[in-house]
Chains A and B, each alone.
Chain A
Amino acid sequence: MHGSYFPEIVSEDIIGSLPFLLLLLFLCLTLEILRWFFPRLISTSFLKGFIVASGILTVWETLSLLNLLSPVLLPPPTKVFSNIVYLWSIGFMQPQIISTLFRLLYAFILALVSAVTLGILVSYFGKRFSSIESLINAGRMIPAPAWLSLAILWFGIGHASAIFIIWLGCFFPIFLNTVNGVNKAEPVQVETVLTYGGDKFDVLTYVILPVSYHHILTGARIGLGIGWITVVTAELASVDIGAGLGWMIQDSRILFDTTTVLSGIIVLGLFGMMTDVLLKKFDGLVQGWS
């Protein structure tokens, strides 16, 4: 299996240990100086995070240099960095990232649309909803990865079953938060819109959506976190062999290629952080009534 999909790992160190440490120092200084001149451009928290990360990388690299860490179990940062650059340059990393992101975002957007729609509908039929509440509660306590086996039975190996379980994982947090948010809409506000001649659609656009926006976003962030866990689980359990960062990690683990394992983990963390930051940016775009 490995031979046919996986590239030969012939990554050379593109950067030595000493230049790497000097580069980190240089970057820290540059960022600090840049922040001095353009305080808007670089946030303090980013700079602080960068400095702490550089410190940890320095310690890690130094320990590896002193042969205190086994290069097989915990390869030095320069090796991992070179490996990421190498996998990227031969065009192996990009398809993995794309297929992971495709699955996640497809299912996430599907979940967002379906959960918000259903959440708003359910809040309109509040009384009826309370009777199926315990059913939904029981359903949400089955973790999304547990559905993987059934999903493979129903949809076969491939994108479809991965998307199904990611959708399930994202759905419940968004749905429950939407219901919670819609219920926060005050009757006075709804009645005001109705009094001024608005119809039900106006109530939706002027009261319910702005009020529940923040809650929907909170649900979306929780859902995205669960979505990341689920997509990686699906790929680790080889729902689709030959595609996805999770598959890459699992396959190189089998080969004891710790460098690629670490590369995959770091890329996953970077993309996870990027999606989270992106969602955070949406917060405050719509001002609810308070």
Chain B
Amino acid sequence: MDICGRCEIHPLVVIAIISGVILTTTLLRYYSETVISEKFYNSLMAWSLFILLWEGTIYLEIIKSMLLAPPSVILTKAFYFLERGYLQINIVSTLRRFVAGFFIALVLAVPLGITLGLFRKAYEWIAPLLDFIRMIPPPAILPFAIILLGIGESPAVFVIALGCFFPILLNTVQGVREAEKLHVEVVQTLGGDRMDVLKQVIIPSALPTILTGIRIGFGIGWLVLVSAEIVAADSGLGFMIEGARSRLETPTVFVGMMTVCALGLAMDIFLKKIEGFFILRRGGGFLQLESGITKIDKKTICKQGEVI
């Protein structure tokens, strides 16, 4: 670890800190149960034991450090990259690519989905074709996109947009279709025109489903983003991972993976918060699911109870 220089973290330091955390929380919990909730304590324990096991097996040379970098080395490497600005550059270029693709998908899919949801006949004609295109894995289109659009940012953005597009579109169509007939008729009876129906009934009632679609689309887009960067990019976290792999720098691979994980987790939590907010505002926490009326489980709410 001479690459790192001054900020090296010794494996024993990590082991000591984690052991300290375990001891302190256990003692705290032993004396008063109200300070730390049981759930938090349990997951903290799980994380600590996991890190301890990870660091320990490599420190005791049960596993070769070339195959599995220990947390101490990963942290050292991460600090080193942060200091040099290498990590920030890659994060920025990954996020820029992703946000561009995601917004293109959002801007195209939601209006198109609302239109297709309103005109059932048109959707019936297009649906089989959409099913075919949906099942082509977006990374497979990447080489074709490179031929069409040239090397650079645009093929990756295109492929990410394609990955996000279909979940958002299909969920929007479904949401619009599930709007209550009764509510539509109420607006019409009270003298509203089509625009009023759209604004007052269809969009508000489809919003939770659309948001679920956006979250699923985000998941697929994130997957496609990493694969696009591994296959063809000259910057970004996927590129960082792939480059480190070819130089056998396992710690860097882990730094990249952890960063991808943290960014994905943060965005997922953010989207779930938005989703929860809109759903609670709309219907007092109840949503019509496929099998009758079920109370929303705020954490895993999805249509038909699917979890991505």
Residues of chain A touching chain B, judged by Cβ–Cβ distance below 8 Å, are 44-46, 48-53, 56, 73-74, 130-135, 137-139, 141-150, 152-154, 169, 173, 176-177, 180-181, 184, 214-215, 218-219, 222, 225-226, 228-233, 236-237, 245-246, 249-250, 252-253, 256, 258, 261-262, 264-265, 268-270, 272-273, 276, 290
Q: Is B245 a contact partner of A149 (Cβ separation < 8 A)?
A: yes
A73 to B149, CA, bound (A): 10
Q: Are B137 and A74 in contact (CB under 8 A)?
A: no
Name 29 interchain pairs, CB-CB below 8 A, sorted by A. A45-B127, A48-B124, A48-B127, A52-B128, A133-B43, A141-B264, A142-B257, A142-B260, A143-B222, A143-B227, A145-B238, A146-B226, A146-B256, A146-B257, A146-B260, A148-B242, A149-B242, A152-B245, A153-B245, A214-B304, A215-B305, A219-B306, A222-B308, A231-B137, A232-B227, A237-B230, A252-B143, A268-B140, A276-B131
The 4 closest A-B CB pairs, nearest first, are: A49-B128, A131-B42, A272-B135, A149-B245
Please state if A49 and B306 are interface contacts (CB–CB under 8 Å): no
Q: Given A272-B135, A272-B136, A143–B226 Cβ distance below 8 Å?
A: yes
Decide if A135 touches B50 in the complex (CB within 8 Å): yes
- In the complex, the answer to whether A228 meets B306 with C-beta atoms within 8 Å is no
Q: How far is the CB of B171 from chain A (nearest CB, A)?
A: 13
B124: nearest chain-A partner, CB-CB = A48
Interface digits, B92-134 against A, CB 8 Å rule (1 contact, 0 not)?
A: 0000000000000000000000000000000011111101110
A49 to B133, CA, bound (A): 12
Closest to B166 in A: A225
Give the residue of A132, A269, A290 whose beta carbon is less than 8 angstroms from that of B133.
A269
Given contacts A46-B128, A49-B129, contact A236 B139 (CB under 8 A): yes
Given A74-B148, A258-B144, A273-B135, CB of A236 within 8 Å of CB of B291: no
Known: A142-B260, A229-B163. 14 other contacts (CB 8 A): A45-B124, A45-B128, A48-B127, A49-B128, A49-B132, A52-B128, A143-B226, A144-B223, A147-B257, A232-B227, A236-B139, A249-B140, A253-B143, A272-B135
Given contacts A146-B226, A148-B230, A233-B227, contact A180 B305 (CB under 8 A): yes
A146 close to B241 (CB less than 8 A): yes
Kindly identify which residue among B39, B230, B307 contacts A233, using a CB–CB cutoff of 8 Å: B230
How far does the alpha carbon of A145 sit from the alpha carbon of B305 in the complex, in Å? 26
- Contact between A261 and B143, CB atoms less than 8 A apart: yes
A143 to B257, CA, bound (A): 9
Chain A residues, CB < 8 A from B179:
none
Whether B261 contacts A142 by the Cβ 8 Å rule is yes
Instruction: Give the Cβ gap from A127 to chain B, nearest Cβ, in Å.
Output: 9
Given contacts A45-B128, A49-B129, A143-B260, contact A135 B230 (CB under 8 A): no
Cα-based distance from A269 to B224 in the complex (angstroms): 16
Secondary structure of the B contact surface, majority rule: helix
Bound Cα distance A246, B31 (Å): 59
B74 within 8 A of A: no
A122 to B264, CA, bound (A): 25
Say whether B125 contacts A48, CB under 8 Å.
yes
Query: Which residues does chain B contribute within 8 Å of A253, judged by CB atoms?
Result: 143-144, 146-147
How far is it, in angstroms, between the C-alpha of A140 and the C-alpha of B305 when the chains are bound?
18
Query: Is B46 engaged at the interface, CB distance under 8 Å to the other chain?
Result: yes
List chain B residues, Cβ under 8 A from A169. 223
Contact partners of A44 in chain B: CB under 8 A: 124
Q: Does B174 count as interface, using CB distance less than 8 angstroms?
A: no
Q: Which B residues lie within 8 Å of A230 (CB)?
A: 223, 227
**Chain A binding surface, main DSSP class:** helix
Within 8 Å of chain A (Cβ to Cβ): is B300? yes
A residues in contact with B250, CB < 8 Å? 150, 153
Question: Contacts A45-B127, A143-B264, A181-B305: A134 and B67 contacting too (C-beta < 8 A)?
Answer: no
**CB distance B46 to A132 under 8 Å?**
yes
Contact B125 A52 (CB under 8 A): yes
A-B contact count (CB 8 A): 203
**Which of B67, B127, B261, B305 touches A49 (beta carbons < 8 Å)?**
B127
Instruction: Report chain A residues within 8 Å CB of B136.
Output: 265, 268-269, 272
Question: Which of B143, B222, B268 has the largest number of chain A CB atoms within 10 A?
Answer: B143
A290-B242 in contact given A49-B129, A135-B50, A180-B307 (Cβ < 8 Å): no
Residue of A52, A144, A264 touching B126 (CB-CB under 8 A): A52
CA distance A142 to B238 in the complex (A): 11
**For the complex, is B45 an interface residue (Cβ under 8 Å from A)?**
yes
| Neighbouring A residues of B260 by C-beta, 8 Å | 141-143, 146
Q: For the complex, give the distance between the alpha carbons of A246 and B147 in Å.
A: 16
B214 interface hit (Cβ, 8 Å): no
For the complex, give the distance between the alpha carbons of A144 and B265 in Å.
Answer: 15
Residues of A within 8 A of B248 (CB): 153
CA distance A139 to B258 in the complex (A): 9
Cα distance A141–B264 when bound, in Å? 6
Beta-carbon contact of B223 and A131 below 8 Å: no
Evaluate contact between A141 and B238: CB separation under 8 angstroms. no
Chain A residues lying within 8 Å of B270, measured Cβ to Cβ, are: none
Distance A265 CA – B140 CA, assembled complex (angstroms): 6
Q: Given A145-B227, A272-B136, decide whether A177 and B306 contact each other with a Cβ distance below 8 A.
A: yes
Q: Are B231 and A237 in contact (CB under 8 A)?
A: yes
Residue of B whose beta carbon sits closest to that of A227:
B137
A26 to B256, CA, bound (A): 54
Q: Which of B67, B139, B250, B268 has the most CB of A within 10 A?
A: B139
